[in-house]
Amino acid sequence: MKSYTEYLWFNTAKRREYINITPEVEKALAKSGIKEGMALVSAMHITAGVYVNDAESGLIQDIDEWLEQLAPYNPDYRHHRTGEDNGDAHLKSLIVHHEVIIPVTEGRLDFGPWQQVYYAEFDGQRRKRVIIKIIGE
């Protein structure tokens, strides 16, 4: 069994952003030479997430609004007593989750129709990273 690791770095312009990273994951897979296996894509920060869904701008806005309803930005989180102001970002990350596993078949990401990989940033404007770990033959 082989493995390949690559890191993606982000420094978003806004506090919350959703970035389609499918092309970067596909490039990492091509570099790996792995034809059959799994690709793990994981945010390495507790205020970010990774998910698989449709790359449609209206849906991305819906996701952002839904997350804001579930975990709104507000100054009253207990976490803020530590001097932080990102309690909502931690909760949004829990909802989205921090990683996905994508099957690799015949050297390609084995997606269903419309599926894409997204990096979701909830406390941006500083340097963050994602790990891509591809395992297989």
Q: How confident is the model at residue 87 (pLDDT cuts 50, 70, 90)?
A: very high
87-96 and 57-70 helices, crossing angle to 10°: 120
Please check whether residue 56 lies inside any domain of the structure.
Answer: yes
pLDDT digits (tens, 9 = 90+) for 104-123: 999 999 999 999 999 999 99
Q: Which domain holds residue 58?
A: 15-136
Strands in 32-88 per DSSP E: 37-43, 48-54
Please check whether residue 104 lies inside any domain of the structure.
Answer: yes
Q: 122: closest CA among 25, 79, 133? A: 79
Please check whether residue 4 lies inside any domain of the structure.
Answer: no
Angle at 73 between CA 70 and CA 77, to 5 degrees: 90
Q: What is the pLDDT of residue 68?
A: 97
Q: What is the pLDDT of residue 15?
A: 95
Mean pLDDT over all residues of the chain?
97
Looking at the structure of the chain, the number of domains it has is 1
Amino acid (one-letter) located at 76: D
Q: Helix, strand, coil % (nearest 5) of the chain?
A: 30, 40, 30
Q: Which CATH number belongs to the domain containing residue 92 in this structure?
A: 2.60.120.460
Mean pLDDT within 93-108: 98
pLDDT digits (tens, 9 = 90+) for 74-83: 989 999 999 9
Please check whether residue 10 lies inside any domain of the structure.
Answer: no
Q: How confident is the model at residue 69 (pLDDT cuts 50, 70, 90)?
A: very high
132, β-bridge pairs: 6, 41
